Structure 1
Amino acid sequence: MDITELILSDHHEQRRMFAVLDEIDRSDTRSLGIVWKRLAAMLEVHAEAEEELFYPELLKLGKARHDDAEAEETDDAIGDHNDIRDGILKAADAEVGSDDWWEGVNAAREANDEHMGEEEHEGLKDFRLHVDLETRHRIGLAFAVFEAEHVDGVPVVDKDPQTYIEENS
């Protein structure tokens, strides 16, 4: 249960769910709403799990290596999560299938795509290279439990990146 593999698996599922939205007829608002409800919950739970369990460990790695890159990556990641949340909230305030709804969905998607790419090429790579498998396993199990416990979602609340880093460093 390597945390880096779980995060990569979640990223794959998020991409797949956005692709499912692409395939649904735009007039089928019932199906769009059902898939989006699940995807929005998945995105927010994933972000919250990373913030609770992964990023604090990534910040520890940066401190141990005397490397500010991990703090910069975490700052950027929290900002990305906020952008994803903003898209989720915009879609939540609109009628499913409307132009405003699609704007929210697409804003969340664009922010998520950017976030996943950066995370996969930076934080996850660093973590695999510098953190032992036992630690990655311990965090991975906690991450899986967190996601299972919150399968229906968590409150969508932006976080201040600098405050987050100060509180978790």
Structure 2
Amino acid sequence: MDITQLILDDHAEQRRLFSILEQIDHTDVEALTQVWDRLSAFLDAHAEAEEQFFYPELLKLGEGANDAEDGTVEGETEDAIEDHNKLRDAVKAVAKYPVGTGAWIEAVGKANVVNSKHMGEEERQGLTDFRRHAPVQLRHDLAVRFAAFEAAHITGVKPVNKDPDAYIEEHG
């Protein structure tokens, strides 16, 4: 088991759930609500799990990969935490609108865009960086903790934005 693979698997599930939402008739409020509730809880729990288990270790071992911000591990981590904050805000914005309305669908679409941008960057940067520098045993140990955290928080976590600079200072 490898934390980088668990994160990739989660990304695939997030893409799948967004795709499902796009295919549900906008008048089927019950189905939209159920799928969105699952997806939004999953997004929050996933981001929190990454922030607790993946990014602190990446800051210790990484060097920056591919198109990382500033070409550094600090830059790629700062960008990821900022992205998580943007995603939390985008998820929160969906709740402002009645499910199935045009404004709700637009807000879900904006959350999808924010999430997709983040996942692509994370896959090219942080995950690549970690695979290059983290020992296999550490990747396994973190995967166990990551999976257990997500399982314990299947209904979500309290979404709390974080200051990227303070995060890096605390974990770097």
TM score, norm. by length of structure 1:
0.94
Query: Which amino acid in structure 1 is aligned with residue 14 of structure 2?
Result: Q
Report what 1:18 is aligned to.
18
Aligned length: 166
Report what 2:129 is aligned to.
126
Q: Could you tell me how far 1:68 is from its partner in structure 2?
A: 6.4
Q: Say which SS state the counterpart of residue 120 (structure 1) adopts.
A: helix
1:151 is aligned, of 146, 154, 169, to 154
RMSD: 1.4
Q: Could you tell me how far 1:108 is from its partner in structure 2?
A: 1.3
Report what 1:35 is aligned to.
35
Give 4+ residue runs of structure 1 displaced > 4 Å after superposition. Answer: none
Distance, in Å, in 1 between the alignment partners of 2:98 and 2:160 is 21
Identical aligned residues as a percent:
54
Question: Is the deviation greater in 17-26 or in 86-95?
Answer: 86-95
2:165 is aligned, of 156, 162, 166, to 162
TM score, norm. by length of structure 2:
0.92
Mind listing any 5+ residue stretches in structure 2 that lack a counterpart?
Answer: 64-69
Q: Say which SS state the counterpart of residue 62 (structure 2) adopts.
A: helix
Mind listing any 5+ residue stretches in structure 1 that lack a counterpart?
Answer: none
2:81 is aligned, of 78, 87, 102, to 78
Q: Could you tell me how far 1:104 is from its partner in structure 2?
A: 2.4
Report what 1:56 is aligned to.
56
Report what 2:144 is aligned to.
141
Query: Which amino acid in structure 2 is aligned with residue 34 of structure 1?
Result: Q
Distance, in Å, in 2 between the alignment partners of 1:69 and 1:157 is 25
